[in-house]
Chains A and B, each alone.
Chain A
Amino acid sequence: MDLEVLLKTLFIILVVVGAFAPVITWVERKQSAVMQDRIGANRADIAGITVLGLFHPLADVIKLLSKEDVVPEGAHRGMHLVAPLVAAIPAIIAFAVIPYGSSYRFGEDTLSLVVADIDWGLLYVFAIGSIATYGTVMAGWASNNNWSLLGALRASAQMISYEVTMGLSVVGVFMVFQTLRLTDMAHAQDTTFRLLGFLEWGGLVESLPAWLDWIRIPKWGIVLQPLGFIMFLTASMAENKRPPFDNPEAESELVAGYFTEYSGMRFGLFYMSEFIEVVVIGGLVTAIFLGGWAIPFVSQEAFIGGLGGVLGEGFATLLCMVAHVVSFFAKVVVMIYVQMLLRWTLPRFRYDQVMDLCWKILLPLSLANILVTGLVLLLVEGGAA
């Protein structure tokens, strides 16, 4: 039991911190190069082999580790040291509740591919996410630097504002799936529904022609809550302070914002946490809106049932597990790509635009989304209940 938890944790940390985060730093450079018609990072080599510059993340780590650790005069040394930890650790542990696979029965045992299956899972993610705000503010305050302080002020106001909209934009999803547990949410999305089925529930049509049964769409959050998806993605990108919402670290205005006075690995931790958060957002969006580990049109029962007869139950379950994990990370990669695309497409917003978007557009919209979702749910399904 304990070994199982340890192995699952090590797996997710190896994949996210060990593989995804470094590769994303490379992807970001390469993609910016492609979008700006440059070649991009391609110099770092081991014995003459460059593999498209994939060694750059490795070179980065070595460089960051061997740099001098400069703490500015007048800085609060303790807070200056703790701030990058407070920023990086929440980003890593947020992944504890994101399911990267379903639960599988192997004979007597059940294997559930999530580190911690907490029943208030999404609330945990938000709670952990707001701790990261402290890291940013502490870094800016402790640095004894005007640019850092300005960056930290911007970051604090921006992050707490978007936390509200991020929280409110997913209430519609709770209403649809009736749970805050991310594993249950992913399970609920492992199915399909008829494209025009709502006409029948709503009593608009007596019964639909039989051939329409074949036109099905996956019952994913993005289909049920399209507005919630857009709002959640926007809010979480703003929460992560990445462009187009990078006012806290705006290079052209604030040098480097709240981590101006950071060097070496202390800076590296801020940098790393940003990229880990990109993966966390990808994982969250996948689990809430894109069906999590689900393979579209092939539910877990159908997969195991269909292949079990040929390959045997145990092997089919194993195959299903691998397919689900691959499916989950494929969706995460797509969501990361979307974030990268937005990052290099949109210019930075002005700070008043960032705050206006949050309080004047997203907040009223998310409240309206909750009410409309409730109304539709009651009108469509309430008659039966």
Chain B
Amino acid sequence: MLSEYAGVLVILGIAVVLTGAMLTVHLLLGPRRQFPEKQEPFECGERQIVSPHQRFSVKFYLVAILFILFDVEAVFLYPWGALFRDLGWFGFIEMFAFITVLGVGLAYAWLKGALEW
């Protein structure tokens, strides 16, 4: 049973080695001439006057919350989809109600302006 995951481990190992080797070769081959001006964060030639580590728009949190809601719902839909034929009309009506609730939630978020940018 676990043997089907062997491939995942193998490809993960190869990917890690491959990308790690790329970075290592780069570190070894690249020159190293550092001076303060070069190490400044890029700001179109200006000194950085605003630190990036500060507050940003709450919209991104809203999107993240909506994402969690809808992604969890999507995960509920997966096994139902895979078993759709076995469940028949009963499953369809159950899921119809579920998707309706989901749709009402989406409509609510929409009307509240959570989807406006």
Q: Cβ of B10 and Cβ of A6 under 8 Å apart?
A: yes
The residues of A that contact B57 with a CB separation of less than 8 Å are 153
The residues of B that contact A153 with a CB separation of less than 8 Å are 56-57, 60
Q: Cβ of A92 and Cβ of B99 under 8 Å apart?
A: no
Q: Cβ of B7 and Cβ of A9 under 8 Å apart?
A: yes
- Does A178 touch B at the CB level, under 8 Å? yes
The residues of A that contact B83 with a CB separation of less than 8 Å are 178
The residues of A that contact B33 with a CB separation of less than 8 Å are 68
Q: Cβ of A261 and Cβ of B41 under 8 Å apart?
A: yes
Q: Which of A287-332 contact B (CB under 8 A)?
A: none
**Contact status of A179 and B82, CB under 8 A, knowing A65-B26, A163-B71, A164-B74:** yes
The residues of A that contact B108 with a CB separation of less than 8 Å are none
Which of B12, B50, B75 has the most C-beta atoms of chain A within 10 angstroms of its own C-beta?
B12
Q: Cβ of A175 and Cβ of B81 under 8 Å apart?
A: yes
Q: Interface digits, B6-18 against A, CB 8 Å rule (1 contact, 0 not)? A: 1110111011101
Q: Which of A29-78 contact B (CB under 8 A)?
A: 64-75
Q: Which of A100-156 contact B (CB under 8 A)?
A: 114-119, 123-124, 143-149, 153, 156
Q: 22 interchain pairs (CB within 8 A)?
A: A70-B39, A71-B39, A72-B40, A81-B23, A85-B20, A85-B23, A89-B15, A92-B14, A114-B7, A115-B10, A144-B52, A145-B41, A149-B56, A153-B56, A157-B60, A161-B66, A163-B71, A167-B74, A168-B77, A255-B44, A265-B26, A360-B115
Question: Taking beta carbons and an 8 Å cutoff, which residues of B are in contact with A?
Answer: 3-8, 10-12, 14-16, 18-20, 22-23, 25-27, 29-34, 36, 38-44, 48, 50-53, 56-57, 59-60, 63-64, 66-67, 70-71, 74-75, 77-78, 81-85, 88-89, 92, 95-96, 99, 102-103, 106, 110, 115-117
